[in-house]
Structure 1
Amino acid sequence: MAEAWRGDEIPLKGLLVGHYTDLEAMTGCTVLLLEEGAVAAADVRGAAPGTRETDLLAPENTVERVHALLLTGGSAFGLGAAEGVVRFLWERGRGFPTPAGPVPIVPGAVLYDLGRGAVFRPPGLEAGYAACQGASRRVAEGSVGAGTGALAGGVKGGVGLAGYTLEEGFGVGALAAVNSLGHPFDPLTGRLYAEGLLEEAERALLPDLARYRGRREEYRYPLLLGGNTTLAAVFTDAPLTKAQARRLAIMAQDGIARALRPAHTPLDGDLVFALALGDGRGVGLPLLLRLGAYAADALARAIARAVLLAEGLGFPTYRALAAGEGA
């Protein structure tokens, strides 16, 4: 069987993660820096996405490798943070080669967290640059970066990380910024939908549900609609082609549906990026199948970790609600 990653560190070479967190504005951004670039693809299932440079990820299009990925709060305003990521990479000579010099390729996507902080200050150039400066293989989780102002079905959302190392030696992981319309837990029982996928150490984070008060049935699908979207990146060191990376993103979307209900709604911009750190020569179908299956499990676990590790910052948390604190 595959071995689950332990702790909050990405064991894959060539991938660093950095956050910028603005607690006053209750927003932030998360950057995935790709030291040697990565073959990339995306799959959009939500009906309200906000994106940057996703068309070039289609398998038939020219650019094969991207140099960073941006997940950000601030709705459409937050796309400005990509300028800081581009500048950081350009200063270091990294990008797609052109006659005028390298052009950094930085796809990105936004979630809606407007109105949750004391001030209006969406992530901009400085935020994206600062996230790059702080990037490392160790990844902070919970109410940080793109998950700073995130909410998930009425409780605090955030950022979560999970992954596996397969028997073949390749790794596959997922990073999620959870800001969903759907609930991460069953309102009648209080149990996380993704609880069954958690590893033993992660199950130690689960709250005691003895004091949980089951909530009325209509809470399962709320009528009060706010800003939403779950953003995710799945990544592997297997040498996938662009078409195979696209299939990885498609299969990984099932992790959102396993962990959040409802998912992919008309008011979510749910999107999964896939990043393949290898040389792009391609893998056999059996390995691709296994990578996709574990990517979906990793994404469901990452969503659960985001909710379990989130700090309230003025909003109710799942752990507090499950312990009987709140209606």
Structure 2
Amino acid sequence: MNAITDVPGVLVGHHHRVGDGWATGTTVVLLPEGTVGGVDARGGAPGTRETDLLAPENLVSRVDAVCLSGGSAYGLAAADGVMRWLGERGRGFRVGPATHEVVPIVPAAVLFDLPRGAWGNRPDADFGYAACAAAAAGPVEQGSVGAGAGARVGSLKGGIGTASAEVGEITVGAVAAVNARGEVVDLSTGGFHAPGEPGEFPEPPGWAAQVSALPTDLNTTIGVVATDARLTKAECRRLAMSAQDGLARAIRPSHTLFDGDTVFSAATGTHAVAGPAALNALYIAAAAVFARAVAHGALAATTVGDLRSYRDVWASHGS
């Protein structure tokens, strides 16, 4: 399906509101029990939760879900709903003898989309809960949905994108909420920076001049890279670091002082990795799939208000 859900057991759900003063949402990645987690944050303005927990030297190595949300720091409240949904099902770090005595481990990151809607309209715990209820395997809806509902990438509408690849018997997949200060396309050609994506489309007349006059927002591209490989916590962190390399390939400039670029990683542990060369191949794949996921987020996005989508600007490109 060319999606993060190609990794067996990984589910994705969206919840968003668009219209009537709203343009924001939440995306949740639900993970199988026993999944090892990692994180890498490189932007200068991250909005995150439970990232210190994922450091290799700290106690908890398993994660239950990752919450990606709009709403800037306010949107971190969406993770409360994810915890509530998981807690009701007995999922989490066990702290007592009863099945309900658990603390769900839900790392989260947010992006800045506050200008897209009326002030005060941002995701809360109900968004996170609803995204969990909607989570499923199979194709992942892309574009102006979930955490990508109010996203912007440079001069264009951003959105949710996903991609996957196979490395032997191992699958690597990514989902990205693309909301960067930089551009995902070369404005002189309309071609995507990410290698292997459509390129060389004519520049709309006067578009570069229009872009230079556009105001800039605070930003952030956030996402998850997942694999069914068996990784340690430190190896899992390296997977997230590699995905950040893919982000840098796809967006220029990336990791700026105004972006909070954060990538989480997840390893479900189904397949053993046969040595350092095989491990390195996974890291190469992580960069490639995250770059493609970023491009797919922009390709699938639809215009919201006066923020035009790639499809509308370069209308001659149909896929």
Kindly state the Cα deviation for residue 166 of structure 1 after the two structures are TM-superposed: 1.2
Name the Cα RMSD after superposition. 2.2
Matched, 1:267 2:258: yes
In the alignment of these two chains, the number of paired residues is: 309
Task: Specify every segment of 5 or more residues in structure 2 that has no aligned partner in the other structure, as ranges.
Answer: none
Q: Name the aligned partner's letter for residue 141 of structure 1.
A: Q
Task: Sort the Cα spacing of 1:59 and 1:9 in 2 relative to 1 into closer, same or farther, 3 A.
Answer: closer
Q: Distance in 2 between matches of 1:81 and 1:234?
A: 20
Q: Do the aligned residues in 1 keep the contact of 2:3 with 2:164 (CA within 8 Å)?
A: no
Kindly state the Cα deviation for residue 165 of structure 1 after the two structures are TM-superposed: 1.1
Kindly state the Cα deviation for residue 188 of structure 1 after the two structures are TM-superposed: 1.3
Counterpart position of 1:316: 308
Q: Secondary structure at the match of 1:120?
A: coil
Q: Do the aligned residues in 2 keep the contact of 1:172 with 1:236 (CA within 8 Å)?
A: yes
Task: Specify every segment of 5 or more residues in structure 1 that has no aligned partner in the other structure, as ranges.
Answer: 1-5
Matched, 1:92 2:89: yes
Matches within 5 A, 1:171-186: 171-186=171-186
Counterpart position of 2:167: 166
Q: Name the aligned partner's letter for residue 266 of structure 2.
A: L
Kindly state the Cα deviation for residue 311 of structure 1 after the two structures are TM-superposed: 0.8
Kindly state the Cα deviation for residue 225 of structure 1 after the two structures are TM-superposed: 2.5
Q: Name the aligned partner's letter for residue 8 of structure 2.
A: K
Kindly state the Cα deviation for residue 99 of structure 1 after the two structures are TM-superposed: 2.2
Q: Distance in 2 between matches of 1:218 and 1:210?
A: 16
Q: Distance in 2 between matches of 1:290 and 1:9?
A: 18
Q: Distance in 2 between matches of 1:126 and 1:9?
A: 24
Task: Sort the Cα spacing of 1:213 and 1:192 in 2 relative to 1 into closer, same or farther, 3 A.
Answer: farther
> % of aligned pairs identical?
49
Q: Do the aligned residues in 2 keep the contact of 1:39 with 1:242 (CA within 8 Å)?
A: yes
Q: Name the aligned partner's letter for residue 280 of structure 2.
A: L
Counterpart position of 1:150: 151
Q: Name the aligned partner's letter for residue 15 of structure 1.
A: V
Q: Secondary structure at the match of 1:76?
A: helix
Counterpart position of 1:41: 38
Q: Distance in 1 between matches of 2:254 and 2:203?
A: 28
Partner residue of 1:28 out of 17, 25, 44: 25
Matched, 1:117 2:114: no
Higher alpha-carbon deviation: 260-269 or 275-284: 275-284
Task: Sort the Cα spacing of 1:67 and 1:191 in 2 relative to 1 into closer, same or farther, 3 A.
Answer: same
Kindly state the Cα deviation for residue 91 of structure 1 after the two structures are TM-superposed: 0.5
Task: Sort the Cα spacing of 1:298 and 1:7 in 2 relative to 1 into closer, same or farther, 3 A.
Answer: closer
Kindly state the Cα deviation for residue 159 of structure 1 after the two structures are TM-superposed: 0.2
Kindly state the Cα deviation for residue 279 of structure 1 after the two structures are TM-superposed: 6.5
Q: Do the aligned residues in 1 keep the contact of 2:184 with 2:252 (CA within 8 Å)?
A: yes
Q: Distance in 1 between matches of 2:277 and 2:94?
A: 34
Counterpart position of 2:5: 10
Counterpart position of 1:3: none
Q: Do the aligned residues in 2 keep the contact of 1:241 with 1:280 (CA within 8 Å)?
A: no
